[in-house]
Amino acid sequence: MAVTICTQEPLRKLLDNEPAIEVSGQTVSEAFNALRNRYPRFVERMLDEGGSVRRCVNVYVNEEDIRFLQNQQTRLRDGDEIRIIPSIAGG
């Protein structure tokens, strides 16, 4: 099952400047594992030591925040889009 992972500009340098990467997975966690095989530095920046999504990273499946779904156990369907957006602070 193919899903697309899309990122914002600040993270693309860790993905060979690709705006979207296609991976396989039945859950968000499985998609992250597939992404880890190709881009381990990217996943290290996105997940903490325990494997949870860092607080400064927002992850959406088809525009729904995974924190309000089943988090990394959110089920995926063929063609779903995972969007990864870093929080940006400033002032």
pLDDT of residue 11: 86
- What does pTM read for this prediction? 0.90
Domain boundaries along the sequence of the chain: 2-86
Question: Does 84 score more than 60 pLDDT?
Answer: yes
From residue 90, alpha-carbon distances to 25, 45, 87 in Å are 35, 20, 10
| 87/72: higher pLDDT | 72
Beta strands (DSSP E) in 1-91 are 2-7, 20-24, 57-61, 64-65, 81-86
pLDDT 10s digits, 11-57: 899 999 999 999 999 999 999 999 999 999 998 889 999 999 999 99
Written out in words, the top-level CATH class of the domain with range 2-86 is: alpha beta
**Percent helix, percent strand, percent coil in the chain, to nearest 5:** 35, 30, 35
Please, are residues 80 and 64 in contact by the beta-carbon 8 Å criterion? no
